[in-house]
């Protein structure tokens, strides 16, 4: 029969190991940076089309992560997507005429929001809205436009060649 | 013809009676005013023999499972030039499926069989009835700590299984096959979500721990008190637990992916 003290020590170590494993899973494997949202301020932006943008997508300035998307809604009157950007409080001085664009990481990667700072001397604050927005590029639409243009071009050149031959 | 019908009926009645007995056993063992001063040391003993002593088999098998998944995944992914997706592949498959299920299967084989055999032998040697003679309720003295022990140990074992499996994949993928360490971890972090992936895996393991210890305890408690009866009970404990784990895993996964 093992002493109760030995058993208790072993179970305690087991518990500590499991909790350490949970912490490693949380921070190293799932990249959970914080259980609570970081201090920051919210800025809204309206987009015609947000593509595959998801909640908690990254917001970047010059490629550096400065916040995350905290809310996506549809504006019921204008039918545009209203995206709320949660920007960390250590990034304070973003000019209020900056432009936001929805970009894609790599060819098939996730969407993220890039803020391009401009030159105004007044800065974004909690609740302000960014007006200069660029919608997400959607591959299907681009291909559609390209095909349409290609079709028109070949028609035009066909007409040109037929004209020349008739001359 | 009528004989067959009545056999079917008898089978059905037996089945329902078994479920009823299992439910009553669970109810009588668990539902009561908790007595922490007496119960806690007993539960601790069971966590030791079911959880701590299972650590070796869990760690060794998870290390190998992680390494094998990494090796297989790398071979397939490299064909598409996507070997940087090795991290997400391993982490998602381990955290969502392999971790809870394989831990539960090993737990059923390592601890469930021992539980069933121990309780069956206690019954065969009339230790349970002598406890009743001494006005000690065997359900609370013997059964309840084992149920709680399995219930507590399984999620903890699963957490440790997950970590060692990911580490095994890291050893093979990064150290041996030369996947970039930064891509391995950052892609993993980008695609594994704490709530939907890791927590759901842990919920699964809680359910499995409960089911495995319940089935094992039931089989032991109602074993025929002979050597053949105990052998049968042990076998049934492992077989039924494994089937229950795999079946429940499908149901739980369907619920989790379907968003409840």
Which residue among A2, A25, A28 sits closest to B159, beta carbon to beta carbon?
A: A25
Tell me how crowded residue A117 is: count the other CB atoms within 10 A of its CB: 15
pLDDT value, residue B114? 92
H-run or E-run covering A47:
strand A40-47
Which residue among A11, A22, A25 sits closest to B44, beta carbon to beta carbon?
A: A11
pLDDT value, residue A152? 78
Nearest-angstrom CA–CA distance, B89 and B184: 10
Q: How confident is the model over B96-114, as a mean pLDDT?
A: 93
Indicate the domain borders of chain B: 32-257
Q: What is the pLDDT confidence band of residue B6, given thresholds at 50, 70 and 90?
A: very high
The predicted-structure confidence for A50-106, as pLDDT tens digits, reads as follows 888 877 788 889 888 888 888 889 989 989 999 998 888 888 888 888 889 988 877
Mean pLDDT (chain A, rounded): 82
Q: Is B100 on the interface with A (CB under 8 A)?
A: no
pLDDT value, residue B188? 84
| Cβ atoms of B116 and B233 closer than 8 Å | yes
Rg (CA), chain A: 26
Place of tokens 């397939």: B76
Q: Is B160 on the interface with A (CB under 8 A)?
A: yes
Q: How confident is the model over B16-37, as a mean pLDDT?
A: 85
State both tokens at B150: 């399995």
Give percent of chain B above pLDDT 70: 99
Length of chain B: 260
Asked if the model's pLDDT at residue A163 lies above 60, the reply is no
Q: How confident is the model over B230-240, as a mean pLDDT?
A: 93
List CB contacts (< 8 A) between B194 and chain A. 25-26, 30, 32
pTM for the full predicted model:
0.75
Flag if A21 and B159 touch (Cβ within 8 Å): yes
Give percent of chain B above pLDDT 90: 55
HEC string of A59-125 equals EEECCEEEEEEEEEEECCCCCCEEEEEEEECCCCCCECCCEEEEEECCCCCCEEEEEECCCCCCECC
pLDDT value, residue B213? 93
Scanning A82-141 for CB atoms below 8 A from B yields 110
Long-range contacts of B194-197 (CB under 8 A, 24+ apart): B194/A25, B194/A26, B194/A30, B194/A32, B196/B256, B197/A30, B197/B91, B197/B92, B197/B95, B197/B96
Q: What is the pLDDT confidence band of residue A37, given thresholds at 50, 70 and 90?
A: low
Number of H helices, E strands in chain A: 2, 8
Mean pLDDT (chain B, rounded): 89
Interface residue of B90, B185, B190, B195 to substitute, partner A, most A CBs within 10 Å: B190
pLDDT value, residue A51? 83
Asked if the model's pLDDT at residue A167 lies above 60, the reply is no
pLDDT value, residue A124? 85
State both tokens at B220: 């032991």
Sheet containing strand A40-47, strands side by side = A129-130, A40-47, A81-88, A64-74, A58-61, A111-116, A99-104, A132-134
pLDDT value, residue A159? 60
Structure-derived torsion over alpha carbons of residues B136, A11, B94, B198, reported in degrees to the nearest 10: 90
Q: What is the pLDDT confidence band of residue A108, given thresholds at 50, 70 and 90?
A: low
Flag if A4 and B52 touch (Cβ within 8 Å): no
Distance from the Cα of A58 to chain B's closest Cα (Å) equals: 11
Task: Please tell me which residue of chain B has the smallest CA distance to A13.
Answer: B52
Q: Is B162 on the interface with A (CB under 8 A)?
A: yes
Q: Which residues contact A66 (CB under 8 A, 6 or more apart)?
A: A59, A60, A87, A88, A91, A115
List CB contacts (< 8 A) between B52 and chain A. 10-11, 13-14
Q: How confident is the model over B26-44, as a mean pLDDT?
A: 82
| Cβ atoms of B115 and B215 closer than 8 Å | no
| Cβ atoms of A20 and A105 closer than 8 Å | no
pLDDT value, residue B11? 93
Flag if B163 and A32 touch (Cβ within 8 Å): no
Which residue among B48, B55, B163 sits closest to A25, beta carbon to beta carbon?
A: B163
Which residue among B41, B55, B188 sits closest to A29, beta carbon to beta carbon?
A: B188
Q: Distance from CA of residue B202 to its chain's centroid?
A: 11
Would the CA dihedral through B97, B103, B109, B112 be positive or negative? negative
Asked if the model's pLDDT at residue A153 lies above 80, the reply is no
Which of the 8 DSSP states describes residue B192? -
Nearest-angstrom CA–CA distance, B168 and A48: 46
């Amino acid at each position: 029969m093992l002493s109760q003290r030995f058993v208790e020590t072993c179970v305690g170590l087991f518990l500590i190991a499991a909790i350490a494993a949970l912490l490693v899973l949380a921070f190293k494997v799932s990249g959970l940076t914080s259980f609570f949202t970081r201090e920051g301020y919210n800025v809204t932006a309206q987009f015609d089309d947000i593509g595959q943008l998801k909640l908690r997508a990254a917001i970047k300035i010059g490629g550096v992560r400065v916040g995350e998307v905290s809310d996506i809604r549809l504006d019921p009157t204008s039918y545009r997507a209203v995206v709320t950007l949660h920007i960390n409080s250590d990034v304070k001085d973003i000019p209020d005429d900056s432009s936001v664009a929805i970009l894609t990481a790599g060819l098939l990667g996730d969407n993220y929001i890039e803020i391009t700072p401009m030159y105004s001397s007044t800065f974004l604050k909690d609740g302000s809205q960014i007006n200069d927005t660029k919608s997400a590029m959607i591959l299907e639409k681009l291909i559609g436009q390209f095909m349409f243009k290609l079709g028109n071009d070949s028609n035009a050149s066909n007409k040109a060649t037929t004209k020349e031959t008739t001359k | 013809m009528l004989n067959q019908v009545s056999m079917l009926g008898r089978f059905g009645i037996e089945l329902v009676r078994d479920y009823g007995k299992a439910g009553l056993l669970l109810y009588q063992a668990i539902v009561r005013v908790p007595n922490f001063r007496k119960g806690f040391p007993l539960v601790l003993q069971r966590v030791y023999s079911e959880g701590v002593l299972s650590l070796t088999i869990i760690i060794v098998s998870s290390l190998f499972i992680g390494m094998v998944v990494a090796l297989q995944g790398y071979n397939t992914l490299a064909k598409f030039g996507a070997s940087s997706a090795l991290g997400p592949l391993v982490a998602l498959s381990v955290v969502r499926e392999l971790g809870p299920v394989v831990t539960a299967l090993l737990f059923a084989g390592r601890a469930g069989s021992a539980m069933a055999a121990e309780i069956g032998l206690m019954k065969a040697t009339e230790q349970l009835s002598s406890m009743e003679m001494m006005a000690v309720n065997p359900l609370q003295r013997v059964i309840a700590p084992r149920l709680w022990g399995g219930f507590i140990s399984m999620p903890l074992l699963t957490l440790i299984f997950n970590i060692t499996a990911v580490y095994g994949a890291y050893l093979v993928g990064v150290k041996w096959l030369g996947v970039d360490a930064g891509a391995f971890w950052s892609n993993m972090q980008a695609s594994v979500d704490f709530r939907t992936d890791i927590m759901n895996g842990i919920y699964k393991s809680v359910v499995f721990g409960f089911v495995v210890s319940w089935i094992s305890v039931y089989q032991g408690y109602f074993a025929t008190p002979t050597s053949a009866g105990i052998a049968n009970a042990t076998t049934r404990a492992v077989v039924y637990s494994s089937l229950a784990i795999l079946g429940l895993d499908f149901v739980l996964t369907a619920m989790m992916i379907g968003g409840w």
